[in-house]
Amino acid sequence: MTDGAGGKERLRKGLRIALATVAVLVLVLVVPPLISVSRFKTQITQLISQSLGRPVRLSSVQAHILPWPGFEISDLSVAEDPAYGAEPVLHANKVTASIRLLALFRGRVEIGKIDVDEASLNLVRAGPGRWNLDSIFRTAAAQTASSPGTGRVVPLPYLEATDSRINFKNGVEKLPFSLVNADLSLWQENPGEWHIRLRGQPARTDVSLHQEETGVVRVEASMRRAPALRQMPLHLDIDWREAQLGQLARLVTG
């Protein structure tokens, strides 16, 4: 009797596992194509725009459930503040935006993480202490304080860029210096406190360089909320290694 009962229990357990597996497969393979993501394209665009504090354009959106619920976005462009030029501050052919599950269970859609690959980012300086990222940090600070009309905290999404390029501009003039093969992460450790991690290879566009000999720059930075970017308390660690002296001199002097 005991062996028979144990066998039936194992059979029921195996059946439950099989049914759960089938349900997951149906969810993954059948549900996403049935979701009309195009009608949510405007809402997704607004979510990313609100997170970054800049107008956003994108070409197409596809939903996915695994490995984490979110969206695959094609041809994303984040507009620049007109005071710093007309070229987009960020452009990426492929972007993954992941959703915060806890917010989803509460009936809200919030972006928890934005991953971009092979992106182009412009850092623009328009004068002493004036950088184009200032408004992004001020928007994030305002959102961290509270979401208008609700009083709830809306943290900045975890931002991550891989195999990307960072260009430097002085006003409308694009400088020859850049960082290539760059990996960049920006996140909030606590409300009002940001951390930045950057790794990239220095490059110039106006001279020929052996890219593998210009070295690798690593940056670790932390900042705290302030009315303007130039007023933020900043802790910065910079490490530049593996550079060949001749290529380094050519990089600096052109």
Q: Write the pLDDT tens digit of every residue in 118-163.
A: 899 999 988 777 888 877 776 665 655 444 444 455 567 888 999 9
pLDDT digits (tens, 9 = 90+) for 56-102: 888 888 777 767 777 888 889 999 888 888 889 999 988 888 877 77
Stretch 219-230: mean pLDDT, rounded?
82
The whole-number pLDDT of residue 183 equals 96
> How far, in Å, CA of 158 to CA of 241, rounded?
28
pLDDT digits (tens, 9 = 90+) for 160-209: 999 999 999 998 888 999 999 999 998 887 777 889 999 999 999 888 88
- pTM as predicted: 0.72
Contacts of 12 (CB under 8 A, 6+ apart): none
The whole-number pLDDT of residue 31 equals 47
- pLDDT higher than 90, residue 219: yes
- pLDDT higher than 60, residue 30: no
Nearest to 155 by CA among 166, 142, 174: 142
Q: Cα dist. 53→80, 81, 146, 153, 245 in Å?
A: 10, 10, 15, 16, 42
Say which residue, 178 or 26, is predicted with more confidence: 178
The whole-number pLDDT of residue 208 equals 83
Stretch 221-248: mean pLDDT, rounded?
85
> How far, in Å, CA of 80 to CA of 154, rounded?
23
> How far, in Å, CA of 254 to CA of 111, rounded?
42
pLDDT band, very low/low/confident/very high, at 33 (cuts 50, 70, 90): very low
